[in-house]
Amino acid sequence: MTPETVACRRTFLTGLGALGLASLVEPERLRAQEALPAGRHRVAKAKRIIWLYMAGGPSHLETFDYKPELGRRHGEPFPESLTKGQPIAQLQGARLSCMAPQFPFRKVAGQEVSTLFPHIAGVSKKICIIRSMITEQINHDPAHTFMNTGTPISGRPSMGSWLWYGLGNDSQNLPGFVVFVSTGKGRSPQPIATRQWSGGFLPSRYQGVHFRTPGEPIHYLSRPPGVSTDQQRDVVDAVRALNRVQNEAVDDPEIATRIAQYEMAFRLQTSVPALMDLSDESAETLRLYGVKGLDGSFATNCLLARRLAERGVRFIQLYHRDWDFHDGLKGYMQMKAEETDQAAAALLVDFDQRGLLDETIVVWGGEFGRTPMGQGTGRDHHMKGFSVWLAGGGIQGGITHGATDDFGYNAVDDVVHVHDLHATILHLLGIDHTRLTFKFQGRDFRLTDVHGHVVKKILA
């Protein structure tokens, strides 16, 4: 390679670095750069996602999939023909007995919903219940990872990161991927690993940002005592200049990420306090969600999700922990329903009133379901058939898709794999799931790996 060739290459790469740096000051150029390389592959029905993630595995048999046959056979041996050779988490080798649904269901607008969820039943015309979900992982952590990243292998990008990378962000002052985690009453909840919102091998600027309530939403965001805005701006500018010099020397994309993160942190110092200030919300809206302040509840996080959506954030994920009921299922299910039912339904009502629902996909569900076989007073993990629901942008409301067998064990009609769910969501956002890729270690990776089909029957 001649000295002239080296110089031309360095000039070209330096020009790219300067373009990236300039985009930090001009957000419109930043969004243009972040856009999917070939633009959206089709006309998008939705702009963003809010994922209401019920972590721990909510029982489909006490939520959205009523099985009277289990009631008729309560206490009887579970048919061995269904379970023989099948993976079971903690019931392997145990005597398997049918366990009746613990709550009655009622039919509203053609949808069967547990009486635990009267508010969600009230918006049943807006939701599509999928009763035939399946996954490939039977234990919590790998199942979370599979639901979020399309693989049980740690270190892969989550869906929120893929979307931020592929579509960019419509907010100038907030991250494109925001996460909340809430905990209610009852059991000691399992932790949610931060890798569930990791950017994986994508540039690190695309990883999700965990917002906390109550208290300081983002650690170390506040300006140190005695430091003014102008003084901090001087520091950020000086660090940016030093990073730019280093980038010109080594052409490291992570330096550009570091510069972008400093700039984002600076903007967050003014945008986050305004986001978290609920004083401009009406008393009617606070009552709708059941919000009592910035108390870290699921209700508060739902309201904050709406405020983030209005500000252009691409992907908002709300974890509500502790739906893992190996015992005491009846009492704990009632607690979790009371903590989430009103706010989840309110989100749909509020979005609809504000004209945001048609451009927002809302997803409700966990990493898997629960067994139709009892485990004392609870149910074990189950991956062969469970329920989620979706609403909003491009989703046909008021329908139930797919079915499990009479016992709620196997998904038997219109089976929907996690890869299919991901492919369908990407489709509604205007993305062909086979074409959103990132080359890593010599291979083009994608969220759906080499699988996934769009579930066309649930589309409006």
Tens-digit pLDDT profile for residues 413-440: 999 999 999 999 999 999 999 999 999 9
**Fold that domain 36-215+294-458 belongs to in CATH:** Alkaline Phosphatase, subunit A (3.40.720)
Whether 33 shows a pLDDT value over 50: the answer reads no
Average pLDDT estimate for 8-35? 40
* pLDDT tens digit sequence for 250-262: 777 677 767 666 6
Residue with tokens 């990872």: 145
The predicted structure's pLDDT at residue 308 = 98
> pLDDT value at position 14?
37
Cβ contacts of 338 within 8 Å, gap of 6 or more: none
pLDDT category at 347 given cuts 50, 70, 90 is: very high
User: How far is C-alpha 427 from the geometric centre of its chain's CA atoms?
Assistant: 16
The Cα 423–Cα 449 span in angstroms is: 10
Position 226 confidence tier, pLDDT thresholds 50, 70, 90: low
Q: Are 179 and 315 in contact (CB under 8 A)?
A: no
Which residue in 430, 49, 437, 444 sits closest to 454, CA to CA? 430
- E strands present in 169-303: 177-182, 209-210
* pLDDT for the residue numbered 318: 98
Instruction: Report how far residue 447's alpha carbon sits from residue 429's, in angstroms, rounded to the nearest whole number.
Output: 14
Instruction: Enter the pTM of the model.
Output: 0.87
Q: Say if residue 5's pLDDT is above 60.
A: no
pLDDT in tens, 370-427: 999 999 999 999 999 999 999 999 999 999 999 999 999 999 999 999 999 999 999 9
Give the other-Cβ count within 10 Å of 172's Cβ: 15
Highest mean pLDDT among 9-18, 22-31, 189-198: 189-198
Q: Please count the other Cβ atoms lying within 10 Å of the Cβ belonging to residue 93.
A: 7
Q: How confident is the model at residue 139 (pLDDT cuts 50, 70, 90)?
A: very high
Q: Where are the domains of the chain?
A: 36-215+294-458
The reported pLDDT for the residue numbered 232 is 62
